[in-house]
């Protein structure tokens, strides 16, 4: 047993946020914990996370519906980002496994506390579980007919998201994915430093709002937005299209899958390399650990 990592029961209780070096250790410890979940638990938590991010996407879709021409573009995007934060709040506070946040596991691997195979197992299972959870939520939303609300305005926004995301050039999707997960992993990083639920929510909201407002690409969010658009395109009744009053460019399912791969890779680089590896180098590389005590 690694006894020097046991909690200090004599340490005074504090509501002060963890300092960055303590956050780095907490991120490593969490990565090790995740790697030891059995497969059913890992998949169940991943399905939850996919559903939670989808619920954030649902909230953002409703909030932004009908805003075109009523509010400036930036304010509309900001509003969508604020409410989309619900997804990561549910993941962090409620407890779930999200592929993009799990990119920080690279810190535990770099410190020799995980094997590459253990880390890859988690990433693979969580990505698949996230896809299942997001896809299942999209199906439920479609079957509920919620997209017809607001005289079809909600469905029109859902179709806009799906068309825009599936139609991005692959290179652009990749770089937007990098930028997205820098902010998502910084949100997770800040939440690890928080001591209360309120602190966690505040820490999560601004980085997540920023990535949505900026138009960056999140692979798990896209696992909800594009399938919902495809379901509407394939299965919405004639009354919905009549009420919509206009044609919508077709959604390219094949290009969506290519883009999903590009965004996934970009998300991994943004989180694992530009956040996880950088903070590991600053706070957890052997030369630094040799001069500091872990608490």
CATH number at residue 226: 1.20.1080.10
pLDDT surpassing 60 at residue 1: no
pLDDT digits (tens, 9 = 90+) for 128-153: 999 999 999 999 999 999 999 999 99
User: In this structure, is residue 227 part of a structural domain?
Assistant: yes
Name, in order, each residue with C-beta under 8 angstroms of 8's C-beta and a sequence gap of 6 or more.
295
pLDDT surpassing 50 at residue 2: no
pLDDT at 277: 97
User: In this structure, is residue 10 part of a structural domain?
Assistant: no
pLDDT at 244: 86
Q: What's the DSSP call for residue 69?
A: T
| β-pair partners for 68 | 71
pLDDT at 8: 52
User: In this structure, is residue 191 part of a structural domain?
Assistant: yes
Reported in sequence order, the residue ranges of the chain that DSSP labels E, i.e. its strands, are none
pLDDT surpassing 60 at residue 83: yes
pLDDT surpassing 50 at residue 115: yes
Separation of alpha carbons 144 and 269, rounded Å: 37
Q: What is the mean pLDDT of residues 192-197?
A: 93
pLDDT at 12: 57
Give the 3-state secondary structure of residue 67: coil
pLDDT at 10: 52
pLDDT digits (tens, 9 = 90+) for 47-82: 999 999 999 999 999 999 987 778 898 999 999 999
Q: What is the mean pLDDT of residues 202-210?
A: 97
Q: What's the mean pLDDT when you consider all of the chain?
A: 92
Tokens 């953002």 sit on residue: 60
pLDDT at 248: 82
pLDDT at 288: 80
41's tokens: 């638990």
User: In total, how many domains does the chain have?
Assistant: 1
> Considering the chain, what percentage of its residues have pLDDT values greater than 90?
84
pLDDT at 293: 47
User: In this structure, is residue 294 part of a structural domain?
Assistant: no
User: In this structure, is residue 9 part of a structural domain?
Assistant: no
User: In this structure, is residue 246 part of a structural domain?
Assistant: yes
pLDDT band at 231 (very low <50, low <70, confident <90, very high): very high
pTM of the full structure: 0.92
Give the 3-state secondary structure of residue 68: strand
What number of H helices and E strands is found in the chain? 14, 0
pLDDT at 66: 86
User: What's the sign of the alpha-carbon dihedral 289, 290, 293, 294?
Assistant: positive
Structural domain for 103, as ranges: 16-289
pLDDT digits (tens, 9 = 90+) for 242-288: 988 877 888 999 999 999 999 999 999 999 999 999 999 999 999 88
Q: What is the mean pLDDT of residues 5-15?
A: 54
User: In this structure, is residue 49 part of a structural domain?
Assistant: yes
User: In this structure, is residue 211 part of a structural domain?
Assistant: yes
């Amino acid at each position: 047993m690694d006894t020097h990592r046991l909690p200090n029961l004599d340490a005074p209780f504090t509501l002060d946020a963890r300092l960055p070096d303590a956050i780095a250790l907490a991120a490593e410890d969490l990565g090790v914990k995740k790697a030891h979940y059995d497969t059913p638990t890992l998949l169940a938590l991943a399905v939850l996370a996919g559903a939670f991010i989808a619920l954030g996407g649902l909230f953002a879709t409703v909030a932004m519906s009908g805003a075109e021409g009523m509010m400036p573009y930036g304010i509309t995007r900001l509003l969508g980002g604020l409410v989309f934060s619900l997804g990561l709040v549910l993941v962090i506070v409620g407890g779930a496994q999200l592929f993009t946040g799990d990119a920080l596991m690279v810190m535990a691997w770099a410190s020799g506390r995980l094997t590459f195979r253990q880390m890859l197992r988690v990433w693979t299972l969580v990505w698949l579980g996230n896809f299942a959870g997001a896809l299942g939520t999209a199906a439920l939303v479609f079957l509920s007919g919620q997209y017809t609300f607001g005289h079809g305005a909600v469905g029109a926004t859902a179709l806009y998201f799906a068309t825009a995301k599936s139609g991005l050039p692959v290179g652009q999707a990749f770089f937007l994915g990098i930028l997205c997960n820098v902010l998502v992993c910084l949100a997770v990083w800040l939440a690890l430093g928080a001591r209360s639920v309120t602190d966690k929510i505040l820490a999560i909201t601004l980085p997540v709002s920023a990535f949505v407002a900026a138009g960056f690409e999140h692979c798990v969010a896209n696992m909800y937005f594009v399938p919902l658009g495809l379901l509407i395109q394939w299965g919405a009744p004639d009354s919905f299209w009549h009420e919509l009053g206009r044609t919508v460019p077709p959604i390219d399912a094949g290009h969506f899958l290519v883009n999903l791969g590009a965004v996934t890779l970009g998300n991994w680089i943004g989180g694992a390399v530009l956040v996880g590896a950088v903070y590991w180098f600053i706070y957890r590389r052997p030369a630094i650990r040799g001069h500091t005590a872990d608490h």
